[in-house]
DNA sequence: TCGACCAGTTAATGAGCGTTAACGTAACTC
DNA sequence: GAGTTACGTTAACGCTCATTAACTGGTCGA
């Protein structure tokens, strides 16, 4: 199910650091970075506030590691799919969409954080995250333009951002368990994303 | 250009309250509710922190008025379009999309606040905002299902939420002035929204 | 068994910040 | 022209909260 930052699916128990990151992500997503106290994060993993400082330099460091981890994970996953692509660009685009949807559905709190708390980072961290995000976008833009050559580059970039907005809407979709279920939701999102790209490509420059 | 909360386009000068609300919206959107101090909001309108308390009961009250105003404005606009609809459901859906895009493009800070700071509200205010949001969604769902009868109600609701995610992606689109310009962006978003709905309607239940 | 280190604890510190108090001043009313 | 209201100001208060200090118990290699 839910992958932890920085690693793929595993079976061994999560480390304390990972526990903390997971709970912090959940709490930050629920009430915002400033809305959550360190005592609360500590309590969520069974230790008390200052105990966290054995594992992280500070509250900021947790957020930074989360956001850098998310961006890196998205980019890495995207690159892997590009490298492993077998069919043409069509299949690759579907693969990218599928990967992004999996992420959006399995790690909703991280998706929420991703575009909500970026400004709370130190300059250097924020720059790094933005750079990773940019690379991820550019990766998509290339594939999208291969599938839809009519699209100008700015239009393709806008379209990609908008489709991200569409796919990242999962936190607003009724809590998990609601119809039409995970598989159905994934498929619906996938079709909508393709439909949006296809419509964007009709009459390119406007 | 940018409409102020609670009123349509006007020519007379904005009141102090309105100045404050506009600047507060911008600042909240930039750095988050907790990330902005009252002194900063005051400075943005040329008075100093505590001076704000002549106009608002507190910082919370500003956020509440903003969020209630946004939701109300969206709902009111949507209802007006429904009431004024002349052609069939097709044209009405286009009208709704157009209205939402105008809002998303002209009041980006408000769009950002709208789904970012809802949890910072008092219970009663949050309930009110959610109720307004729900009514707005339901209004869309009805129209969408009229245009695409193949869609089940849950699917239509998910689709509407996702399209909102798409349309509300404007804050992520390069700062205003970037290609393809406001008109082009609006048209691109419109086409993508229709494309997404159309694709959602193919193979309904999955 | 003896350090050394890891992972906690509680108590103290200190900054930031929303809010209130106390006070000043123009403008407008009666 | 005295009183009231609208709109500010600066100074002080008090709370929240991240961070640090000081201290403690367990584990483990030599």
Note which residues in 182-201 of chain B have CB less than 8 A from chain A: 183-185, 187-189, 191-200
pLDDT tier at A9, thresholds 50, 70, 90: low
Q: Are residues A178 and B116, on separate chains, in Cβ contact within 8 Å?
A: no
Among the partner residues B152, B159, B206, nearest to A187 by beta-carbon distance:
B206
Q: Is A30 on the interface with B (CB under 8 A)?
A: yes
pLDDT tier at A201, thresholds 50, 70, 90: very high
In A51-122, which residue ranges form alpha helices assigned H by DSSP?
A: 59-84, 89-106, 108-114
pLDDT tier at A203, thresholds 50, 70, 90: confident
Q: Do residues A141 and A153 lie in contact, with contact meaning Cβ atoms separated by under 8 Å? A: yes
Residue A77 confidence (pLDDT) above 80? yes
pLDDT digits (tens, 9 = 90+) for B125-139: 999 999 999 999 999
Residue environment code for B22-48, b if the CB has 16+ CB neighbours within 10 A, otherwise e: bbbbbbbbeebbbbbebeebbebbebe
| A15 CA: distance to closest CA in chain B (Å) | 31
Q: Which residue places its CA closest to the C1' of nucleotide C7?
A: A54
Angstrom distance (rounded) from CA A160 to CA A141: 7
Does the CB of B154 fall within 7 Å of any strand D atom?
no
What is the CA B77 to C1' D24 distance in angstroms? 64
Angstrom distance (rounded) from CA A198 to CA A201: 5
What is the value of pTM for the model shown? 0.92
pLDDT at A10 (0 to 100)? 59
Alpha carbon of residue A77 to chain centroid: 11
pLDDT at A180 (0 to 100)? 78
User: Mean pLDDT, to the nearest integer, of B55-60?
Assistant: 97
Q: Is B150 on the interface with A (CB under 8 A)?
A: no
The residue that leads in pLDDT, A116 or A77, is: A77
Looking up tokens 């930074």 gives A64
What is the CA A201 to C1' D12 distance in angstroms? 62
pLDDT at B144 (0 to 100)? 98
User: Mean pLDDT, to the nearest integer, of B66-76?
Assistant: 97
- Termini Cα distance of chain B: 43
DSSP 3-state percent helix, strand, coil across chain B (nearest 5) = 70, 0, 30
Chains A & B: contacts with CB separation below 8 Å: 155
Which stretch of A42-56, A136-150, B7-21, B184-198 has the lowest confidence by average pLDDT? B7-21
Residue B7 confidence (pLDDT) above 80? no
Tokens of residue A154, six digits: 């700015």
Among the partner residues B35, B162, B192, nearest to A189 by beta-carbon distance:
B162
Q: Do residues B27 and B40 lie in contact, with contact meaning Cβ atoms separated by under 8 Å? A: yes
pLDDT tier at A2, thresholds 50, 70, 90: very low
Does the CB of A39 fall within 7 Å of any strand D atom?
yes
Q: What is the CA radius of gyration of chain A?
A: 18
C-alpha to C-alpha distances, A120 to A37, A113, A144, B162, B165, nearest whole angstrom:
15, 11, 32, 27, 23
The mean predicted confidence, pLDDT, of chain B is 91
Among the partner residues B33, B35, B206, nearest to A188 by beta-carbon distance:
B206
Residue B45 confidence (pLDDT) above 80? yes
Angstrom distance (rounded) from CA A168 to CA A94: 16
pLDDT at B12 (0 to 100)? 63
């Amino acid at each position: 199910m839910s992958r932890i930052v920085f690693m793929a699916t595993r079976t061994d128990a999560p480390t304390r650091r990972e526990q903390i990151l997971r709970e912090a992500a959940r709490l930050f997503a629920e009430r915002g970075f400033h809305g959550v106290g360190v005592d609360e994060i500590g309590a969520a993993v069974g230790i008390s506030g200052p105990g966290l400082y054995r594992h992280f330099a500070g509250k900021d460091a947790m957020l930074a590691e989360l956001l850098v981890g998310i961006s890196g994970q998205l980019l890495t996953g995207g690159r892997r799919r590009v490298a492993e692509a077998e069919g043409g660009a069509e299949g690759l685009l579907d693969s990218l969409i599928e990967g992004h949807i999996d992420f959006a559905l399995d790690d909703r709190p991280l998706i929420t954080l991703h575009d909500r708390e970026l400004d709370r980072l130190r300059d250097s961290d924020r720059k790094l995250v933005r750079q990773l995000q940019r690379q991820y976008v550019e990766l998509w833009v290339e594939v999208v333009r291969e599938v839809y050559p009519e699209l100008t580059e700015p239009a393709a970039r806008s379209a990609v951002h908008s489709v991200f907005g569409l796919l990242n809407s999962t936190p607003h979709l009724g809590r998990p368990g609601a119809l039409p279920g995970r598989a159905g939701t994934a498929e619906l999102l996938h079709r909508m994303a393709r439909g949006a790209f296809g419509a964007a490509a009709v009459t390119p420059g406007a």
